[in-house]
Structure 1
Amino acid sequence: MDSRLKRFTFFCVAGLTAAYLAACSPQIANRGNLPEPEDLAQIKVGQSTKGDVTDLLGTPSSVATFDPNVWLYISRQVETLAFFKPEVTKQEVVVISFDAANRVDLVKEYHLEDGKRVEPSDRVTPTAGRELTILQQLFGNLGRFSDTAK
């Protein structure tokens, strides 16, 4: 009976240790569409067309807002450890620009180090109108509606 208790205790401790170690391992999430380097090397500036790029790399992650001839292939790797804030560990952006004849004009790669931090503004845009209390909102429409179904 004593050996069974020792084995049970050993398996419980081993199970709890395994669960503890598994909980502390980071969760890695890969997102986006990053082309393979050998596929990217096949794109020739001045020769490859939009169709060639689509065949090699697939559809872009995004198209530039103000210029549909600029395609973006974006990839990001994020690690999350337990309850801590997620951290971007790897980010790559491939920008492909096309000229008026739909031929590749520019191929440029950006990495995490090339990014710039943007701090949001805490200013508030004022709006027209007035703020209502909850009671004004609840009772404000009493008596305003007429019976139009007659």
Structure 2
Amino acid sequence: MTGMGLKLKTVLAAGALVALTACTTQYRNHGYVPLEEDLSNIVVGVDTRDSVAETIGTPSTGGVLNDSGYYYVHSKVKHYAYRQPQVVEREVLAVTFDKRGVVRNIERFGLSDGNVVPLSRRVTESSVVDKSFLRQLLGNLGRFTAGDFIE
């Protein structure tokens, strides 16, 4: 019986170990955003699409409207046991270009309580007159109410 009791204890210990590791929080990183040191090599009003790609790498995605810019996206996702994965951190770097393909603007965005938060901005103009595509897209998150869909 001691051989059977030892096997039972081993199986129970292995089951407890599996149960404990299943409840461990895991974080996964997705995407790429260049470091600030690398961005310091890009000069607004001077660098072009090609020089940006050479300096900081190819973007995660490009501008949807008129190929307006490069967008680098990084997300940190928390996975815990059986729960739905949760995005705990997201950062978007937007490099926009003028019609000649020269860097017009470099902006870094983060998410804070579901709102878009500009983390840094380098612009050739003294102020931003029009909103970028990304800002328009992310700016509408959380602005919907049930009354908007009911007539």
Identity of aligned residues (%): 27
Deviations 1:40-66 (A, max 9, x none): 232221222211111122222222222
Instruction: Provide the residue aligned with 1:147 in structure 2.
Output: none
3-state DSSP class of the match of 1:31?
Answer: strand
More strand by share: 2
C-alpha separation between the residues in 2 aligned to 1:120 and 1:79? 27
TM-score, with length taken from structure 2: 0.66
Distance in 2 separating the partners of 1:13 and 1:32 = 40
Deviates more, 1:15-24 or 1:35-44: 35-44
Which consecutive residues of structure 2, in runs of 5 or more, have no partner in the other structure?
Answer: 117-140
Query: Per-residue deviation at 1:98?
Result: 1.4
Q: Equivalent residue for 2:96? A: 97
Per the alignment, residue 82 of structure 2 pairs with: 83
* Deviates further, 27-36 or 105-114: 27-36
How far, CA to CA, are the matches of 1:105 and 1:69 in structure 2? 10
TM-score (norm 1): 0.66
After TM superposition, the runs of 4+ consecutive aligned structure 1 residues lying more than 6 A away are none
Cα shift at 1:5: 4.6
User: Letter of the aligned partner of 2:142 in structure 1?
Assistant: R
The whole-number CA distance in structure 2 between the counterparts of 1:67 and 1:22 is 48
* Pair member with larger Rg: 1
C-alpha deviation, 1:97, in angstroms: 1.1
Instruction: Count how many residue pairs are aligned between Structure 1 and Structure 2.
Output: 124
Q: How well do the aligned residues superpose, as a CA RMSD in angstroms?
A: 2.7
Following superposition, the deviation at residue 120 of structure 1 comes to 8.1
Where does residue 69 of structure 1 map in the other structure? Answer: 68
Distance 1:47 1:21 in 2: 55
